[in-house]
């Protein structure tokens, strides 16, 4: 029988009861100090029938923040808050990994300790505006990181990974997509360094591989995923040769024997047209599990799995509006429509009050 979204699968050490993955979704509803609060526990618990939940992108340090009301994964209080989330998801039979995030230049001094200047591979100001507690404000020119500082950032990933283990997560996903710090190093539109972290593909990939190596050493390769977005122009991103760049990155990740590679197969947030890209080839170059993401519906998800393109499919917006998305797919039920006005920030409304199917 052909595989489909309801076939169980193991991604590394993580056993999924189905292949319907909840994509990482920024919701800006953490409590004081970046501590997950009661409504966050309810939100994730409601979605525990997903084969795997990937949490919202979660800053690994105070300098990794770029939006209001994000949860963190670097203080004891944050760990205690997340532990309630993982316990609730596990009690419902679900699996959950945390997405480790450093935003790099996609931030604003008002969101950083002591009004610090955001950091980046190169001092190149992204076009656009930051979401701050004071409203939209123009991005500033970031400060280019010194080589000596990069070891500290790698260490922040280790600390966050240890926190993730303490919080009971089934694994971690290294966020190297969507124009944030690690992606800023990968793509030549944002990386104009002349040292060993810029220029050649080997050099632009260096920081990602250092981070992955140290995260793997901390938690084990079979609990680590990486997210990439080869042609997503969001956050003012571009690369002169995306196919060559990301085919190289996919292959460079093979020696780690990771749980999975997770790909955003296009552009998000209407950030502009994405360039053509051969995701079939990209996927084939990676030896382990592959999670496909972006605008899949049930039929296309089943087809991607049946054809062998993907081992699992991540759904974002459908999971915002349908906590029981798996049950709805299983019974071919209609889906609740998502209300974009309540995506970012606010209360339980538009967060934990979307209706479940009634029996």
Q: Are 322 and 336 in contact (CB under 8 A)?
A: yes
Contacts of 304 (CB under 8 A, 6+ apart): 292, 296, 310, 313
Binding mask 325-344 for ligand PHB (x = CB under 6 A): --------------------
The yes or no reply on residue 55 touching ligand PHB (CB under 6 A) is: no
For ligand PHB, the closer of residues 272 and 308 by Cβ is 272
Answer for which of 57, 211, 258, 310 binds ligand PHB (CB under 6 A) is 57
For ligand PHB, the closer of residues 67 and 139 by Cβ is 67
Contacts of 285 (CB under 8 A, 6+ apart): 247, 250, 251
For ligand PHB, the closer of residues 85 and 182 by Cβ is 182
Give the CA distances from residue 1 to residues 4, 7, 306, in Å, rounded to whole numbers and listed in that order.
Answer: 9, 10, 10
> Which of the following is catalytic: 43, 74, 139, 180?
180
Contacts of 195 (CB under 8 A, 6+ apart): 147, 203
The yes or no reply on residue 205 touching ligand PHB (CB under 6 A) is: no
Interface with ligand PHB in residues 269-308 (CB under 6 A): 269
Integer Cα distance of 24 and 30 in angstroms: 15
CB of 268 to ligand PHB, least distance (A): 6
Number of C-beta neighbours around residue 198 at 10 A: 18
Token couple for 195: 């040292």
Answer for which of 18, 61, 122, 178 binds ligand PHB (CB under 6 A) is 178
The yes or no reply on residue 319 touching ligand PHB (CB under 6 A) is: no
CB of 52 to ligand PHB, least distance (A): 17
Integer Cα distance of 85 and 54 in angstroms: 12
Binding mask 4-43 for ligand PHB (x = CB under 6 A): ----------------------x-----------------
Contacts of 127 (CB under 8 A, 6+ apart): 139, 236
Q: What is the rounded end-to-end Cα distance, in angstroms, of the chain? A: 29
Binding residue count for ligand PHB, defined by CB under 6 A:
6
Active site residue 180: yes
Give me the active site residues, please: 180
Write out the residues near ligand PHB by the rule CB under 6 A.
Answer: 26, 57, 67, 177-178, 269
């Amino acid at each position: 029988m052909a595989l489909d979204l309801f076939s169980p699968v193991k991604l590394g050490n993580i056993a999924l009861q189905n292949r319907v993955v909840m994509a990482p979704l920024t919701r800006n509803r953490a409590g004081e100090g970046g501590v997950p609060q009661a409504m966050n526990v309810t939100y994730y618990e409601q979605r525990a029938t997903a084969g795997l939940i990937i949490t919202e992108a979660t800053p690994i340090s105070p300098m990794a923040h770029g939006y209001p009301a994000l949860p963190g994964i670097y203080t004891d209080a944050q760990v205690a808050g997340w532990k309630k989330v993982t316990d609730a998801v596990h009690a419902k039979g679900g699996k959950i990994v945390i997405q480790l995030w450093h935003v790099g230049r996609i931030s604003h001094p008002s969101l950083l300790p002591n009004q610090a200047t955001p950091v980046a591979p190169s001092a190149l100001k992204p076009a656009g505006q930051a979401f701050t507690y004071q409203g939209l404000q123009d991005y500033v020119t970031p400060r280019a990181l010194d080589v000596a500082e990069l070891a500290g950032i790698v260490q922040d990933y280790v600390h966050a990974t240890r926190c993730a283990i303490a919080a009971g997560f089934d694994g971690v996903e290294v966020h190297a997509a969507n124009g944030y710090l690690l992606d800023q190093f990968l793509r030549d539109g944002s990386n104009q360094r002349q040292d060993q972290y810029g220029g050649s593909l080997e050099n632009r990939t260096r920081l990602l591989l250092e981070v992955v190596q140290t995260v793997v050493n901390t938690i084990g390769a079979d609990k680590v995923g990486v997210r990439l977005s080869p042609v997503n122009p969001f956050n003012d991103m571009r690369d002169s040769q995306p196919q060559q760049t990301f085919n190289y990155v996919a292959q460079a990740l093979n020696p780690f024997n990771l749980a999975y590679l997770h790909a955003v197969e296009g552009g998000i947030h209407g950030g502009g047209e994405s360039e053509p890209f051969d995701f079939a080839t990209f996927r084939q170059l990676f030896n382990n599990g592959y999670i496909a993401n972006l605008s899949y519906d049930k039929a296309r998800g089943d087809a991607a799995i049946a054809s062998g393109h993907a081992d699992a499919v991540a759904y974002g917006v459908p999971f915002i509006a349908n906590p029981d998305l798996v049950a709805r797919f299983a019974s071919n039920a209609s889906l609740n429509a998502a209300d974009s006005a309540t995506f970012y920030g606010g209360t339980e409304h538009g967060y934990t009050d979307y209706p479940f199917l009634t029996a």
